[in-house]
């Protein structure tokens, strides 16, 4: 079982002829609403690959919150730990996308931003029978901290996807089994710009020195770099695909990685398979909706 602790955000997306200037109203084109948030996206990615997933998050008492629950249920995700906040609204992202694909986004984390230590504590039983825990930084740091503590208490592996990056105490890294930053996040964490193998290695060593067991740096179409301290680290090549929308690639990767590690694949195999899932996800438009199903992976078997 995979336990995901993180955000649920509804994406409200409008196409627009151009991005509005302050004070300007633009008559936009089509409107689209869809489930989003890193936590929710990663939960969907894992569920579609066959994982038994429990989502720990918080939504508001509003229509978007009801929609969130419906959507999780449709994906077969356990919603018993989705709490409802009395005061805050469900997390929302207001997105405007122009003809060139340029975008402007305002996120109000709302309910999922105020996930408390107690919300996570209430899910203690889920941690006890989890195979792996997956958490991001799109909630409160206290919730992230509690998640890592509980995972450590039950001696369960925990993946920290440090996205979107926010300042975290160094102490927090000590209990992390796997950390999965992209290039931007690894720079924020270590001050190292990862453009080649030796820099990836340097950054990974820096993170393991802070107490993380295994480092996976995702490198877009190039794939990822993995390091577990047993050797100099390895590049796990990405899959060549025709990318149409790379948003959510990291979410696909993390949901997949949690799934494959929990199924007993070794680090390199799990990373390679996660590269393939993420590659498939960028061939389709959307985040949550573009997460591939287990059956689709057969395509890549001989790749
Ligand atoms: P994020 O989406 O968080 O910025 P990355 O850009 O590093 O993260 O992408 C995460 C993973 O998605 C990569 O490790 C890779 O496996 C896959 N990926 C991303 N972009 C592409 C692409 N253009 N072609 C193939 N795979 C991709």
Choose the catalytic residue: 251, 268, 298, 302: 251
Structure tokens at 188: 């924020």
Query: Is the separation of the CB atoms in 218 and 181 below 8 Å?
Result: yes
User: Distance, CA 123 to ligand 1 centroid (Å)?
Assistant: 31
Q: What is the DSSP string of 68-130?
A: HHHHHHHTT-B-TTEEEESSSPPEEEEEEE-TTS-EEEEEE-HHHHT--HHHHHTTHHHHHT-
- Per residue of the chain (303 residues), give pLDDT as tens: 999 999 999 999 999 999 999 999 999 788 999 999 999 999 999 999 999 999 999 999 999 999 999 999 999 999 999 999 999 999 999 999 888 878 888 999 999 999 999 999 999 999 999 999 999 999 999 999 999 999 999 999 999 999 999 999 889 999 999 999 999 999 999 999 999 999 999 999 999 999 999 999 999 999 999 999 999 999 999 999 998 888 899 999 999 999 999 999 999 999 999 999 999 999 988 888 889 999 998 765 544
Q: At what angle do helices 38-48 and 63-74 cross, to 10 degrees?
A: 20
The three-state secondary structure class of 292 is: coil
Contact 261, 270 (CB under 8 A): yes
Q: Is 251 a catalytic residue?
A: yes
Strand partners, 134: 4, 159
Element (H, E) at 148: helix 141-153
Per the annotation, does 65 bind a ligand?
no
202 lines ligand 1 (CB under 6 A): no
Q: Give me the residue spans of the domains in the chain.
A: 2-7+37-89+113-300
Please indicate if the annotation marks 182 as binding a ligand.
Answer: yes
CA of 200 to the centre of ligand 1 (A): 16
In the block, which residue shows the tokens 């998050």?
57
Instruction: Report whether 225 contacts 236 (CB < 8 A).
Output: yes
2-7+37-89+113-300: CATH topology: 3.40.1190
ipTM for the complex? Answer: 0.99
pTM for the whole structure: 0.95
Q: Is the CB of 45 under 6 A from ligand 1?
A: no
Distance, CA of 281 to chain centre: 13
Tokens found for residue 211 = 């107490």
| C-beta separation of 182 from 218 below 8 A | yes
Which strand (E) or helix (H) includes residue 259? helix 249-262
Q: What residues contact residue 256 under an 8 Å CB cut-off, 6+ apart?
A: 45, 46, 49, 273, 274, 277, 278
CB 1 within 8 A of CB 129: yes
Tokens for 28, please give them.
């936009």
């Amino acid at each position: 079982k995979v336990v995901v602790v993180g955000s649920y955000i509804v994406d409200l997306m409008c196409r627009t002829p151009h991005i509005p200037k302050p004070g300007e109203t633009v008559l936009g084109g089509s409107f689209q609403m869809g489930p989003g948030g890193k936590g929710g996206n990663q939960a969907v990615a894992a569920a579609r690959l066959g994982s038994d997933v429990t989502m720990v998050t918080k939504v508001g008492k509003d229509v978007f919150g009801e929609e969130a629950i419906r959507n999780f249920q449709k994906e077969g995700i356990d919603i018993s730990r989705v709490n409802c906040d009395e005061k805050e609204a469900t997390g929302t992202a207001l997105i405007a996308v122009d003809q060139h694909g340029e975008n402007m986004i305002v996120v109000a984390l709302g309910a999922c931003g105020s996930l408390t230590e107690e919300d996570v504590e209430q899910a203690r039983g889920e941690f006890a029978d989890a195979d792996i825990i997956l958490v991001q930084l799109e909630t409160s740091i206290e919730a992230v901290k509690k998640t890592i503590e509980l995972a450590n208490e039950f001696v369960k592996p925990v993946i920290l996807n440090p996205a979107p990056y926010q300042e975290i105490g160094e102490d927090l890294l000590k209990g992390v089994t796997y950390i999965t930053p992209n290039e931007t996040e690894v720079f924020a964490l270590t001050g190292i710009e990862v453009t080649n193998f030796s820099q990836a290695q340097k950054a990974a060593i820096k993170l393991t020195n802070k107490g993380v067991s295994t480092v996976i740096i995702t490198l877009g179409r190039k794939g990822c770099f993995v390091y577990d301290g047993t050797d100099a680290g390895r590049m796990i090549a990405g899959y060549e695909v025709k990318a149409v929308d790379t948003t959510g690639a990291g979410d696909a990767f993390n949901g997949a990685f949690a799934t494959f590690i929990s199924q007993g694949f070794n680090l390199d195999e799990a990373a390679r398979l996660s590269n393939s899932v993420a590659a498939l996800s960028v061939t389709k438009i959307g985040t949550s909706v573009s997460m591939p199903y287990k059956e689709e992976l057969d395509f890549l078997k001989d790749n």
